[in-house]
């Protein structure tokens, strides 16, 4: 639950523009204002008076003056949180799906089997599982006849945490993938963004208040013979990265906007970026069956598959359309790990006479091993990490 806003006493508040209230105390008009200011809670000021003194209100609630101003033309299609309208990249962006008068839709393009091998879509979870730096083709459909040809439209794609505890946190890349020397960052300057778009006319934005990263792409009109426009996306960090998303579930919010920032439509796509999309999809589907009474299920459609009508894609009894998703197997790689009888020992032989150097090396080794263990799900490093932690504790 959000904390109740706290407001300072009127005497302690700092005015945004003090010049407009700098009156000459010797002026007779100033004496007229004195009783009004001393009895602020009881007065009713005539809005047409030249000395009108009001507090910004909306629905009977004082508006937070420190909250960033919202463009007037962005009101349509936004949510309201408390008394302040929510922006597409605000502190807590709206997650309500709607097609709007443009009938905005997002469809997964599964026409190419080469792409399908790198990502899997679970109809039961309404979620996509994809490997890092692999192409995700999405088809965007809207009623382009309803808007003049000279008015451009844009699609904003913004990743966001879906868990309640992390709603306010912007999605960040991990330190490893954020490094300029990482292979994914060659000839690319917007390193902070988890999501990229390969299409032309793409810009990368960072909200200065919420710090949320989003990708905005000009949405061209469909080619002749087609009713949708295709965009190509890539994720350049994994959901499990230790210093990044840290296994926190994310969604991608797609908003259809005009050049004034007015939201015309909104769709949501839950995503997991992982090394084994098929395996992780099967695990989550199995977990959903075991905890079906407690798992959150979205009841609004947003993503459809190209060859299945979007009004019926979620009515399959087995949770997946026939001949589209690979059948779930009874075992996975992690359940049938291959054991090796030949142990491997790390070549650690470091000796120093300086306690400070010893501590620094020890701390960094612990950080690297712990991060790699979490990232790659390595469990046999626990005794080693416990020993390192014990040595660090003894140095304090």
Q: Which residues pair with 230 in a beta bridge?
A: 139
User: Which DSSP category does 169 fall into?
Assistant: S
Give the model's pLDDT for residue 10: 41
User: Which DSSP category does 190 fall into?
Assistant: -
Length of the chain: 396
Between 341 and 1, the more confident residue is 341
Most confident of 43-52, 65-74, 126-135: 126-135
150-182: pLDDT as tens digits: 889 999 999 999 999 999 999 999 999 998 888
- Tokens encoding 7: 């407001």
CB within 8 Å of 79: residues ≥ 6 apart: 85, 86, 94, 95, 96
314 assigned to a ligand binding site? no
52 assigned to a ligand binding site? no
174 assigned to a ligand binding site? yes
248-269: pLDDT as tens digits: 999 999 999 998 889 999 999 9
Domain 105-288 has CATH 1.10.287.980: no
d(C-alpha 247, C-alpha 59), whole Å: 39
Contacts 24+ apart (CB under 8 A), 352-356: 355/395
Most confident of 48-57, 307-316, 337-346: 337-346
CB within 8 Å of 91: residues ≥ 6 apart: 168, 209, 210
What's the mean pLDDT when you consider all of the chain?
73
CB within 8 Å of 34: residues ≥ 6 apart: none
pLDDT band at 230 (very low <50, low <70, confident <90, very high): very high
- Tokens encoding 60: 């009977």
302 assigned to a ligand binding site? no
- Secondary structure (DSSP) of 6-68: ----GGGPPPS-GGGG---TTSHHHHHHHHHHHTTTT----TTSTT-----EETTEE--TTSP
Q: Does the pLDDT of residue 58 top 80, yes or no?
A: no
d(C-alpha 385, C-alpha 369), whole Å: 8
Answer whether 138's CB lies under 8 Å from 107's CB. Answer: yes
76-134: pLDDT as tens digits: 444 533 333 457 888 989 999 999 999 999 998 766 554 556 788 898 899 999 999 99
Give the model's pLDDT for residue 44: 42
pLDDT band at 34 (very low <50, low <70, confident <90, very high): low
Give the model's pLDDT for residue 360: 86
Provide the residue ranges of all domains of the chain, joining segments of one domain with +: 105-288, 355-394
d(C-alpha 162, C-alpha 170), whole Å: 11
- Tokens encoding 130: 């994809």
- Secondary structure (DSSP) of 84-108: EEPPTTSSS-----B-TTTT-EEEE
Q: Which residue has the tokens 């990263």?
A: 213
339-392: pLDDT as tens digits: 556 788 877 778 888 888 888 888 888 877 877 776 677 878 888 888 888 888
Sheet harboring 202-206: ordered strands across?
119-122, 127-130, 263-273, 250-258, 153-161, 213-219, 202-206
Give the model's pLDDT for residue 51: 42
Answer whether 219's CB lies under 8 Å from 258's CB. Answer: no
How far the first Cα of the chain sits from its last, in Å, is: 38
Quick one: CA torsion of 347, 353, 356, 362, rounded to 10 degrees? 20
- Tokens encoding 356: 């400070």
What whole-number percentage of the chain has pLDDT above 70?
Answer: 62
Residue 275: CB atoms within 10 A of its CB come to 13
Give the model's pLDDT for residue 264: 94
Give the model's pLDDT for residue 180: 87
């Amino acid at each position: 639950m959000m904390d109740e806003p706290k407001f300072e006493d009127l005497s302690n508040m700092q005015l945004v523009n003090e010049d407009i209230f700098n009156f000459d105390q010797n002026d007779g008009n100033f004496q007229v204002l004195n009783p009004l200011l001393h009895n602020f809670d009881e007065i009713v000021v005539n809005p047409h008076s030249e000395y009108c003194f009001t507090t910004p209100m909306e629905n009977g609630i004082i508006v937070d003056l420190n909250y960033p101003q919202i463009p007037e033309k962005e009101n349509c299609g936004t949510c309201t949180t408390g008394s302040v309208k929510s922006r597409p990249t605000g502190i807590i962006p709206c997650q309500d799906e709607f097609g709007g008068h443009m009938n905005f839709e997002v469809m997964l393009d599964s026409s190419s089997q080469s792409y399908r091998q790198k990502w899997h879509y679970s109809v039961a979870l309404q979620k996509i599982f994809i490997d890092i730096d692999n192409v995700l083709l999405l088809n965007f459909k809207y009623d382009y006849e309803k808007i003049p040809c000279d008015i451009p439209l844009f699609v904003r794609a913004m990743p966001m945490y879906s868990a309640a505890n992390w709603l306010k946190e912007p999605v960040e890349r991990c330190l490893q993938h954020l490094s300029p020397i990482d292979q994914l960052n060659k000839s690319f300057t917007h390193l902070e963004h988890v999501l990229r778009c390969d299409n032309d006319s793409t810009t990368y934005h960072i909200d200065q208040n919420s710090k949320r990263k989003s990708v905005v792409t000009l949405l061209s009109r469909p080619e002749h013979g087609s009713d949708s426009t295709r965009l190509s996306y890539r994720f350049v960090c994994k959901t499990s990265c230790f210093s990044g998303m840290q296994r926190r579930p994310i969604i991608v919010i797609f908003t259809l906007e005009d050049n004034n920032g007015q939201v015309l439509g909104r769709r949501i796509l839950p995503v997991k970026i992982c090394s084994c999309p098929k395996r992780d999809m099967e695990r989550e589907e199995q977990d959903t069956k075991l905890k079906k009474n407690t798992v959150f299920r979205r009841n609004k459609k947003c993503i459809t598959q190209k060859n299945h009508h979007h009004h019926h894609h979620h009515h399959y009894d087995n949770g997946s359309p026939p001949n589209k998703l690979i059948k779930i197997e009874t075992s996975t790689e992690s359940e049938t790990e291959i054991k090796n009888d030949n142990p491997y020992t790390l070549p650690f032989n470091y000796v120093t006479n300086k306690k400070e150097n010893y501590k620094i090396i020890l701390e960094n080794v612990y950080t690297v091993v712990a991060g790699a263990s979490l990232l790659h799900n390595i469990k046999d490093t626990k005794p080693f990490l416990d020993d390192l932690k014990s040595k660090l504790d003894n140095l304090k």
